[in-house]
Structure 1
Amino acid sequence: MSALLNTVETYRSLQPFFSIGELNANTAEIRLHFGVQLTQSTRNVLDVLHRYASKYYGVSYRSKSKIAAELGVTRRTVIRACNALESLGVIKQYELKRHNGDKRRSSNAIVFVPIKPAVQPNVTTECHDKETPNNAKESSNTYVTDVPIKIAIEDVVKEDVNPKASPAINPNDKANLEASLPDGWFKQSRAYASDANDLYRITGELFKAKHATDLRVEDHVEEFGEVLRRSWVSLKGGRINRTKWYAYLFAAFKRTAHEIERRERFAPMQRDIEALFNV
């Protein structure tokens, strides 16, 4: 199929979110659930894509060369990072051509894929950078919406936009971490994280551990916080090897999650028994 044109209409049709808030939350989810699988260079590229996806929420058309220059890395490094993110199903790359003149190749549109049900880009044509593998993993997300996107339409599309015009939140900024984590969890966990990445990693272990249950972290932050505190004390006391810290956390969170689930499952029965003997 022919490539898409770098027009306003194309960017609007690819736009997966309605607001900066949705974009910020989605990037936080990516770092939360895939942080362990991302190299530092891939996280850096993710953050740049995030910052330049604030005009058409979730669509970045900053060139890989400019991303590389901004990060002080090679273009090949940026391409590898984008391919890695695409293989995880968190972005899609669309090849674009200039909408006027010679129709030569333009910068790719890199579109964030909603991690939670929201909106899906209303475009079925997908192409990749020349150096993108043909067997890149497709995202399993297939969300659809018929709600119109309300944004100001520009007469001319420039290759780059000023991200300060509609600033996206940097997910590494500790001032904004609390809003991107489950209610109450920031307060419980911040003292045990060395930096933002460590905090996301700790939270990621918690989410993986309670995945098989129906528990909400928000409902049990104090219990999970106590697990984290005890684990930290064991680490500082030398009872846990630092290299096994996250594995230990995962096991402790998982054990606690199943204990809470069992307790809640049998709570009605326990209340019935107590009521029977109190009669």
Structure 2
Amino acid sequence: MTIYLSNYQTFNSTQELNHHVRQHEKEHSEELTASQREVLRFIARYSVKYAGAAHLKTSTIATGVDKSERTIRRILRRLESLEIIERVSTLRKKSGGSGANIIVILPFAAPRMSDREVTEKASEQTDKAKNRQKETFTKREEPSYTNDTLNTPLALKNSLPCRIYEAISPFFDGKDLYRTVGTLYKAKASVDSSIQAEDHTEYIDTFLSCVRRYKEGKIRNLQSYLYASWKKVSRMIKLKEMAHIYL
């Protein structure tokens, strides 16, 4: 199983892993109990070789922190609900039953927008899109791609696949749009940069699902959740491609 852990790695180094763990603890300082912190740090210690990913059994964690397996399952559910970790189910090759989970420590990202702000952004961008349709441009008005304009919606529109831009742009403007697109390509590149996002509708479906959950108050850190979700989509696409090759 360890040969697959590199596909679930979320950080580039142990230092980066430890930094994000500390940020998670700081963000949830009033929510995490001492036992939950202990379990998180135990997982982090086992996530060094493939920074952010570990193949751990509940019983292993329970023994390591001297808690019951029931308590560990409860703590893992809590860490998952806070979007600190993600659990990936595995299957035993011989029996076909469920194996030990791969536990992924998610990157920390500070909250950017409230639910109300997301809704307002969507409405604002819809109005702007309608206004842009009314504008006309002469050949002399071609955009200049300087460093200042690379972060603008127009520059991104001309450089991004149409389907990706049309899905994301109604919800963000300027630097937030640029940051979200960067999150997509960073997540994709962490698995395989050769994957063409525009060829897989799963990326758009996942984005819309994340935004919907964010507006419903089920997600605290949108960018972090998008990164983890898009990376998961990329892993699924890559595994499907690998399976097809060996069929």
Measured against the shorter chain, the TM-score band is 0.3 to 0.5
| TM-score normalised by the chain length of structure 1 | 0.41
Higher RCO (CA-CA < 8 Å; seq separation 6+): 1
Which has more helix, going by share of residues?
2
| TM-score normalised by the chain length of structure 2 | 0.46
